[in-house]
Amino acid sequence: MIIQTSFLGEIEIEENTIISFPEGIPGFEQSRRYVIIPMGEASPFFYLQSLDDEDFCLLIGQPFVFFPDYEFDVPDEELQKLGIEDQGQELVVYVIISVPEDFKMATANLLAPLVINVVNKKGMQYVPGKSAYTTRHYIFQREAASVRAGEVR
């Protein structure tokens, strides 16, 4: 099917790639259906485009490419909502990337990852009760540090 989007223009998607977020995404609770579109071949970046709101698109990324030590714990009750039983087989994790005007200062939201069951195509943004992470971790840590050092001088 062909869909209209503000950010990516007109794109063709396969209906069996549509992912449902039964609770939406915080701030966009009414947007329940999404597709994930790679930014490029072998790129760790993807677009998460809403099918319910053509204006709503997020840049997301594979967290372990940038944060190899990233870890978090989702309670079983939350995973069961996604129908996940065998985690390794079904679970895919992305984090939302926010890119300010200086792209070197791009940050990843490690506090609230996107957890997706790739088999039944159900996803959620997991909101933890507590976490060692925040909503903004620099993905280009060295570059961000040098930009910030420059500001201080």
Partner 1 sequence: MLVLSRKKGQKIIIADNIVIDIVDIQGDVVRLGISAPADIKIFRGEIYQEIQDENRQAANNLARMKEALPGLLKYQETKDSRE
Interface ranges with partner 1 (CB under 8 A): 6-9, 11, 25-28, 37-41, 43, 47, 55-59, 75-77, 96-101, 109, 111-112, 125, 127-129, 135-136
Closest distance of CB 12 from partner 1, Å: 8
User: Least distance from C-beta 127 to partner 1, angstroms?
Assistant: 6
20 alpha-carbon distance from chain centroid: 14
Minimum CB separation of residue 153 from partner 1 in Å reads 26
Q: Which residue, 8 or 147, is less far from partner 1 as judged by CB? A: 8
Q: What's the CA gap between 94 and 141, in Å, rounded?
A: 18
Residues in the chain: 153
In this complex, which beta carbon is closest to partner 1, that of residue 58 or of residue 84? 58
Query: What letter would DSSP give residue 109?
Result: -
Determine contact, residues 117/91, Cβ cutoff 8 Å.
Answer: yes
Residue 72: CB minimum distance to partner 1, A: 14
Does residue 23 contact residue 30 with C-beta atoms inside 8 Å? no
